[in-house]
Structure 1
Amino acid sequence: MSSADCATVARLDEAITACCLAAAAFADAALAPQRVTQIAMDCLGLLRAAHPARGTRGLDMAAFRQGLRGPLGSLLPGHQEVPVEVSSLHLLDSQGKLSEQVHRLCREHLVPLQALEVPWPWARLRAEQQQGRLHETLRQLPPSLYGRARMLCITHPAGEARTLRRAWGELWGKVDFFEPVSDWPWAQVAGWWFACPMCRWPMLVETDDHQARVRCTAHAWRGVRYTLDLSRAEGTAAPRLRLAGRPSSRKSWSSQPVVGQPASSDHLAFQEGAWHFTTVAGLVEKELRDSVHEEVPEADCEMWPADPYPDAYDMRVSVQTAHGERVFRVDVKDWMDAAALARSLTSKPLPEKFICVVVPDHQESQLPTLSERLPATHYRAFTVSRFIQHVRAAVQGDA
């Protein structure tokens, strides 16, 4: 598929998603009118932007609302190429309620049905879609490439295009979730962008009259925060950031200088949803693997094993004991809400094999909730430190 074709598909997908979200807002009698108006205006703006003409003439709120009652094709970019089954849909029925076809359309476009019930903010919805599409793409890879692709999502989520192509090799183009950093004004100052030293993704830039504040939205709590004197950002020399946060990690990322990179079209970065759900989450998994290797050298760690299928859990840790091989199947979770995590795990079919749920050490307070709400026959919750102690005890014959 050519880049132009990919852009057309992306515009159509975004337009359909915006229409579904707006239809759900109009159909929700319990939603405050002000909130309905806000969602509808946001979706109308997104729909206008999805059209190549940028601001399609005649597409005002009245036309938008009427179009949701069908046929849908009248609202979509490139409607001549849209399948008739989609273009003929009526998202709202004659009573203004969601038609039954909406849920099917949402499933096909990876829109979580919960997003229509609340409804979700657009940014969250797009992030979920990006995550779903990336995971779908990864699962279609042969097992021999799956683990390598997952690791590249962690180690190379952004950078200069030639560098990324070399790193991704034959996977370049198969996992095509990159966007030009030049399209992200929030990540730029004076034509430069800055990669987080932990996750390697563009950091958020906020400026005032004399200074820029730069931070990673995922890792600011770990001290990844910087400042930049704006007078030093001008010119051809790449500016360096000054560390402003206090590192909370025992790793030495804070000793690495953060130097600006050109915010040009040949510098690319993962879509935000793909970065948040795959790069950031994968970094926590990689850190656990590295800690196990460091603390228990006898342990063999396999990331994302195909057991019983790729991504059933995050890591297989095996050690030799006096009684033979001992295997720990690990699912690494970094959630703020332990109750929501427990609901997410128990809403799915129970795992075929026992799973160790491992959370970061700073989330030790989550263990009582997880232990109470997860079935003990299938799960046991640990912090990173407690899990490593558990593995070490197995090697020494104490567990």
Structure 2
Amino acid sequence: MQFVDGLTGPLAPLLPASLRQDCDDVPLVEQDQLSPAAADLLMENLAPSLAPQDVAGWSIPQLGAEKVQGWLYGQMLNTGSEEGYRRARKAVIDNAAGVMHIVLDAIKAAGLPREGLVEQIPAWAWVLHEGERYWFGCPVCRYPMTVQLGRVACLYPPHDKALGGPVTVRTPKGRRPAVGAWNHQRVTDLGGTDAIEAATVESHVCLVRPAWRYSVIPGCEELRLYRLLSVMPDVSVTLWPFTDRYDLHVQAGRRRLPWRVDVKDYADPARLVTELVRKDAVRDPSVVIVVPDYRSSQVGVLNERLRRHLGTRRTVAMTSAVFLKTVAKAVGA
């Protein structure tokens, strides 16, 4: 009975100490349903890395996300050029949600189809107030935040944590809903905006959830790094080179070897190592795996396991902050 009761909390206390990982501290249940953090881990470990046609006949609902992402990647490639791919990818990241005609026009201009990519603002994001439906976008990724018990929270746990947890919604009479206090500095550090304002559900749309999770979420950090590197003196940076073979090509000063940066944002470092080893691109000494600063606890595990696999002592993985300092040091900034 104690074991069953423990299944509503983190798995860590139920496991032998030798088998525990950081991700085992994630609570399984929040507000009588699977927690967002646990759902994220489930998606990473359940969906196999197969082509869309390989999973088309599978009946497990979660695998739909894998198919959507494969389809979207194919649509981006169909733009026909590296620049077309770059424009399409950025259009998706910059238009996670918003006014219908603005989102649809941006997607069309980038050469992407609207059908299958965009949907109405989901009911789980509605704030009902004086006969009108409103929604709030996350200040980091701009995707609709979920509403529960008079509070809003981003579906992506690190963004929710940056806000300081779920944010209280105020519903003043005769005015639009507004949110209470939240952590502006931590959101700004992630490249987010400085405002969370209510928008009406009518005439607004958002991306389908898999496109948000697997294109917008990693894209937020990739674009943040690109912008910061672009203003560094004596640094040249290319975003998604060779049609997204990796994320950033960075050349600094007189340094002979460039950095080929692959930005990875996984909840489960063990799953990430498996993916990296399978692709084997990390054997290239110019490749560096960069994780967002909120994944700093993963760096030790990633380096230990990747070094063992590669038979090397070099630093393979680092946080965004450490990478930026490394580049700045290379150019004497």
**Alignment TM-score > 0.5, same fold:** yes
Distance across 1 between alignment mates of 2:123 and 2:114: 24
Counterpart AA for 1:160: V
Match for 2:241 among 305, 311, 334? Answer: 305
Counterpart AA for 2:160: A
CA contact (8 A) 1:137 1:175 kept: no
SS at match of 1:356: strand
Aligned to 1:152: 91
Kindly indicate whether residue 258 of structure 2 is the aligned counterpart of residue 319 of structure 1. no
Counterpart AA for 1:163: I
Match for 1:337 among 263, 268, 272? Answer: 268
CA contact (8 A) 1:194 1:203 kept: yes
- Write the deviation string for residues 354-396 of structure 1: whole angstroms up to 9, x where unpaired: 3110012232332222122222669811111221222223324
CA separation of 1:269 and 1:376: change in aligned 2, threshold 3 A: farther
Counterpart AA for 2:249: R
- Write the deviation string for residues 196-231 of structure 1: whole angstroms up to 9, x where unpaired: 111111110113xxxx2011111101116422234x
Distance across 2 between alignment mates of 1:361 and 1:341: 16
Counterpart AA for 1:133: W
SS at match of 1:358: strand
Match for 1:383 among 299, 319, 323? Answer: 319
Aligned to 1:50: none
CA separation of 1:228 and 1:131: change in aligned 2, threshold 3 A: same
Give the drift of 1:275. Answer: 0.1
Aligned residues: 270
SS at match of 2:318: strand
CA contact (8 A) 2:259 2:288 kept: yes
CA separation of 1:257 and 1:365: change in aligned 2, threshold 3 A: closer
CA contact (8 A) 2:190 2:221 kept: no
Aligned to 1:23: none
- Write the deviation string for residues 218-268 of structure 1: whole angstroms up to 9, x where unpaired: 1101116422234x3x76x5322223457534539787332221212x311
CA separation of 1:152 and 1:173: change in aligned 2, threshold 3 A: closer
Aligned to 2:226: 289
CA contact (8 A) 1:289 1:301 kept: yes
Q: Which has the higher contact order (CA 8 A, sep 6+)?
A: 2
CA contact (8 A) 2:170 2:178 kept: no
Counterpart AA for 2:220: L
Distance across 2 between alignment mates of 1:392 and 1:253: 19
* Identity of matched residues, %: 28
- Write the deviation string for residues 130-178 of structure 1: whole angstroms up to 9, x where unpaired: 2221112112222221111111111111111112234345226536400
Match for 2:141 among 188, 194, 199? Answer: 199
Kindly indicate whether residue 302 of structure 2 is the aligned counterpart of residue 366 of structure 1. no
Structure 1 segments unaligned to the other structure (5+ residues): 1-105
Distance across 1 between alignment mates of 2:261 and 2:51: 29
Aligned to 2:65: 127
CA contact (8 A) 1:331 1:355 kept: yes
Distance across 1 between alignment mates of 2:55 and 2:140: 30
Distance across 2 between alignment mates of 1:342 and 1:157: 29
CA separation of 1:328 and 1:136: change in aligned 2, threshold 3 A: same
CA separation of 1:179 and 1:250: change in aligned 2, threshold 3 A: closer
TM-score by length of 1: 0.60
TM-score by length of 2: 0.71
Give the drift of 1:271. Answer: 0.5
- What do you get for the CA RMSD once the two structures are aligned? 3.0
SS at match of 1:268: strand
Distance across 2 between alignment mates of 1:259 and 1:286: 23
